[in-house]
Amino acid sequence: MSNIVNWLKECRVIVSLAVALFVLAQAIMVCAETASEGPTAPAKPPEVSQGAAGTAKALPEKKAGEEQKLTLWRIIRLGGPLMWPLFALSFALVACFTYFLLAFTPKNMMPPLFLRRLEQIIRGKKIDEARMFCAQNRNAVSHIIRSGLEAVGKGRQSVMDAMNGEGSRRGGALWLKISFLSDIAVVAPMLGLLGTVMGMFQAFMSVSASGMTAGLVNPAYLTAGVAQAVITTIVGLMIAIPATLAYSYLRAVVQKIIVNLELVSSKYSEMIAEIAK
């Protein structure tokens, strides 16, 4: 039961992110449907046709907005070719965030059973066995401690320097990994802006190619370009906002991991330095 509870706690941010994306998607769909319906036009009298015997017959009316109603697939098509790289970024966001959330846990970074067993080996002054044990258990703290064990024969200061250097490298690797989320948060709205510029350019070129009648522009020529401009901007922001929130959360997680690694490394560096005297 406790394992299930712990798993649910680890996945709570994934669920929150999924709910936020779902709410944003629903909001866009509602806005799109509202825009497609447009303002309500005054009711027109039914058209009348004259039958063969001169009897007036009412023609059936078309349902308002029946053909203009936007669907999700139509929104994707109106967004243009830039929707595909935006979808790739959204997939990368979900994949990276899920992986980091499940990987950056104390159980993976600093396994308690591993540390307890390693402490017993080091206190028994079995340096070779401790090195082998660290090599068999590959995690962040095992690499740091192993670097200190490798420098045992070089003196106390060498042990400290080796562990500090390896700790800095491991911390830098963690920051580098989560920086991909920050890159997604920057690139997504830039792609949306590019789609906006391309859509407006398409709209102006359509008007230029079609020409104007008596100085008036047919709004039909602007529809495709304006739709692409608006949709790509919205999708880019929908990706950038969750990416920024995910990066902020993982930044706090990584900071906490680095602090814990420093505490554990300090404890084991003192134990190894005593042997290196």
The whole-number pLDDT of residue 175 equals: 93
Q: Which of 20, 9, 70, 65 is nearest to 230 (CA)?
A: 70
The whole-number pLDDT of residue 196 equals: 86
The whole-number pLDDT of residue 249 equals: 94
The whole-number pLDDT of residue 265 equals: 86
The pLDDT tens digits of the residues spanning 206-233 come to: 766 665 554 555 565 566 677 778 888 8
Task: Provide the Cα torsion 139, 143, 144, 145; round to 10°.
Answer: 100
- Taking 70 as the pLDDT cut, the residues of the chain under it are 1-70, 72, 207-224, 276-277
The pLDDT tens digits of the residues spanning 90-121 come to: 999 999 999 999 999 888 888 889 999 988 88
The whole-number pLDDT of residue 8 equals: 47
* pTM of the predicted protein model: 0.68
Quick one: tokens of 115?
Answer: 């540390």
